[in-house]
Chains A and B, each alone.
Chain A
Amino acid sequence: MIENLNWPATVVFVFFFAVVTVMGFMASRWKSGPLDVLHEWGLGGRRFGAWITWFLLGGDLYTAYTVIAVPALIYAIGAYGFFAVPYTILIYPLLFVAFPRLWAVAHRHEYITAGDFILGRYGDRWLALAVCATGIVATMPYIALQLVGMERVIQALGFQGEGIFSHLPLTIAFVILALYTYSSGLRAPAMIAFVKDTMIYIFVIAAVVYIPTQLGGYGAIFDAAGAALDKKAAASGGKIAAGLILKPAQVMPFITLAIGSAMALFLYPHSMTGILAASSGNAIRRNAIALPAYSLVLGLIALMGYMAHAAGIQVANPQDAVPQLFLKMFPSWFAGFTFAAIAIGALVPAAVMSIGAANTFTRNFWKPFVDPNLAPAKEAGLAKLVSLIVKLGALLILFVMPTQFAIDLQLLGGVWMIQIFPALIFGLYTRWFTGPALLVGWAVGTLLGTWLSWGATNWTPASNFFGWLSFNSYNGLTSVIVNIAVAAILSPILRGSAVDQTTEADYQDRRVPA
């Protein structure tokens, strides 16, 4: 099991893991508040200023899976994987414009989830349930993939296990995470995010400065990667579209995938939790300016896929490219540092995701449908318990299902998540849409997106919409456009009698312009 362990790397790895474990448990006393109330446990009491929010959102959105999967895609097929950069350029203008409004209305009415806002805004608990269910279903495989990212680096340390022992280190790490999330709530990932983000910045800067000096500079790296990708494309007889720039058929999927992913990102429960935990709308605005620093880091991490080609790394699973690159280019202790950064990078989003899912389960399913008289203290207790169950569920997904299934589910999760865009974002600006109409639009969009993604042999993220389009478009984007059209047309017909709790003034978080 541990015969082939890389000891220097493992010692460094275990050291940093121990540090964040202590921090995770101590976090319950940080900016302390009564942790038996849901908005204290699940939203840190909305006490996080611009700086803490920057670390928390950065640690939350740029997940360990991203750090492994994006360079893996670049390693495997090249330019197409760089969609992550336009995607992360698009998200911040949206964050800047729309989310201070959501924060303001959520603060006034003590909403802690997207579903709470939907319920207050449209008075439709079924629409709120749809939002809640979408969030939880999309989040579960995402947590499982954080574990995949963590397992890749644990294997790179040289750990080998048979049968039930193969997941042993991961299980231990996850149980520890579950315990301190249970006791400290959102304060735990917020505190750990400081360590995680600092470590990520250190290893990325070291890699982008040092590795090119060993491989003959960036020109040589791109040339070597381009040659490797061309060879791969030629060997496949043109079946695999790979190269340093996009093939003509990849251009529209690249553009639509960037737009669709950007529309979906902030709708996930974990993004919503990070945003609503901010102490003011202004903290969110300032973060929209400063968070692109992480996008730059993501772009540089993506290029590590090319560095792996230039360094002659040959791996069957592209997700091993970056860990192997670090083992080859750096001394063991620094590789251990990098792997610890990636593993801790999995803990922050996994914790926030389970908290976000627990918040919405408690508020938008259990309370309205099962126990309307849930007392505040019981509410927090239930959410804590659900956060444990959610993590256990993610661990089970990983144990019993092939990894490919989790990857497919996560991809479908994006297609589903985007379907709440009209209800949530348009709802911040216009009163045209009604709850029942949005619910029908959501159902149509979800079914359509799933159907479009259903391929003969595997799930496909882009399609030509039953032959109506002359190009392939990301299914999430295509289906949400249909969703919006359906909801817009049905809204004047399906009016309903629901009451809107919110008024225009609720959405203003700063003085009205003169």
Chain B
Amino acid sequence: MKYVLLLVPCVLCLCAPFYNTIEPRLGGFPFFYWSLLLLVPVSALFILAAYKGEAR
């Protein structure tokens, strides 16, 4: 059950209808691109959290 948190980035990255827009832009990047690129390090943080939680 402690791995349920890992589902969060997985579900988010599959919500394509939600992030399939141009606006809001960030630094010229359409939302579609910057949200997915941002989700990559965020997903790594979730895995890090699971790793820390497991070690405890």
Given known pairs A218-B29, A259-B14, the reply for A88 and B48 (CB within 8 Å) is no
Q: Is the CB of A96 within 8 A of B6?
A: yes
Point out the residue from A90, A246, A289, A300 that lies within 8 Å of B48, measured CB to CB.
A289
In the bound complex, CA of A251 to CA of B20 (Å): 9
Pair A295/B40 contact, Cβ less than 8 Å: yes
A290 touches B44 (CB 8 A): yes
Instruction: Please pick, from A97, A217, A290, A292, the residue contacting B3 in the complex, using a CB distance under 8 A.
Output: A97
The reply to whether A296 and B37 contact each other, CB–CB distance below 8 Å, is: yes
Distance between Cα atoms of A217 and B43 in the complex (Å): 27
Does A321 make an interface contact (CB < 8 A)?
no
A486 within 8 A of B: no
Which of B15-54 touch A at CB < 8 Å?
16-17, 20-22, 25, 27-30, 32-33, 36-37, 39-41, 43-44, 46-48, 50-51, 54
Q: Is the CB of A89 within 8 A of B51?
A: no
Q: Is the interface of B mostly helix, strand, loop or mixed?
A: helix
Residues of B near A285 (CB, < 8 A) are 51, 54
User: Using a CB-CB cutoff of 8 Å, which residues 293-307 of chain A contact chain B?
Assistant: 293, 295-296, 299-300, 303
Contacts of B9 in A (CB 8 A): 89, 93
Docked CA distance A426–B33 (Å): 34
Asked whether any CB of chain B lies closer than 8 Å to the CB of A368, the reply is no
Are A82 and B17 in touch, CB under 8 angstroms? Answer: no
- A86-B13, A259-B14 known; A92 vs B43 contact (CB < 8 Å): yes
Q: Given A89-B40, A96-B47, do A82 and B10 touch, yes or no (CB 8 Å)?
A: no
The answer for the CA separation of A470 and B43 in the assembled complex, in Å, is: 31
- Cα of A368 to Cα of B3 in the assembled complex, Å: 38
Interface pick from A36-44, A154-162, A219-227, A353-361:
A219-227
Query: Is there an interface contact between A96 and B51, defined as CB atoms closer than 8 Å?
Result: yes
**Bound state CA distance, A303 and B29, in angstroms?**
10
Within 8 Å of chain B (Cβ to Cβ): is A407? Answer: no
Question: Of A93, A220, A290, A293, which contacts B10 at CB under 8 A?
Answer: A93
Cβ contact of B28, chosen from A220, A254, A295, cutoff 8 A: A220
B32 and A245 contacting across the interface, CB-CB below 8 Å: yes
CB-contact partner of A299 in B16, B28, B36, under 8 A: B36
- Please determine whether B44 and A289 come into contact, CB atoms closer than 8 angstroms: yes
Which residues in A have their C-beta under 8 angstroms from that of B40?
85, 88-89, 292, 295-296, 299
Q: Given A90-B10, A245-B30, A255–B43 Cβ distance below 8 Å? A: no
Q: Which residue in chain B gives the minimum CB-CB distance to A223?
A: B28
The answer to the question of A425 belonging to the interface, with a C-beta cut-off of 8 Å to chain B, is: no
Q: Across the two chains, which residue of chain B brings its CB closest to A221? A: B28
Complex interface residues of chain A between 222 and 275 (CB less than 8 A to chain B): 222, 244-246, 251, 254-255, 258-259
Decide: A86 and B36 in contact? CB cutoff 8 A.
Answer: yes
CB closest chain-B residue, reference A287 = B47
A406 within 8 A of B: no
Query: Is A299's CB under 8 angstroms from B37's CB?
Result: yes
The residue from A82, A90, A258, A290 contacting B33, defined by CB atoms under 8 A apart: A82
Tell me whether A79 is interfacial, beta carbon within 8 Å: yes
The answer, yes or no, to whether A288 is at the interface (CB within 8 Å) is yes
Nearest CB of A to B34, in Å: 9
Mind listing 25 A-B residue pairs with CB under 8 Å?
A: A85-B37, A86-B14, A89-B36, A90-B10, A93-B3, A93-B6, A93-B43, A96-B47, A96-B50, A97-B6, A218-B27, A220-B28, A221-B28, A222-B29, A244-B22, A244-B30, A245-B30, A246-B16, A246-B20, A259-B14, A288-B47, A292-B44, A296-B37, A299-B36, A299-B40
Given A245-B30, A289-B47, 15 new contacts (CB under 8 A): A85-B13, A85-B37, A89-B10, A90-B14, A92-B43, A93-B47, A217-B28, A218-B28, A244-B22, A246-B16, A286-B51, A290-B44, A292-B44, A299-B36, A303-B33
What 6 A-B pairs have minimum CB-CB distances, sorted nearest first?
A: A219-B28, A218-B28, A86-B13, A93-B6, A292-B44, A89-B13
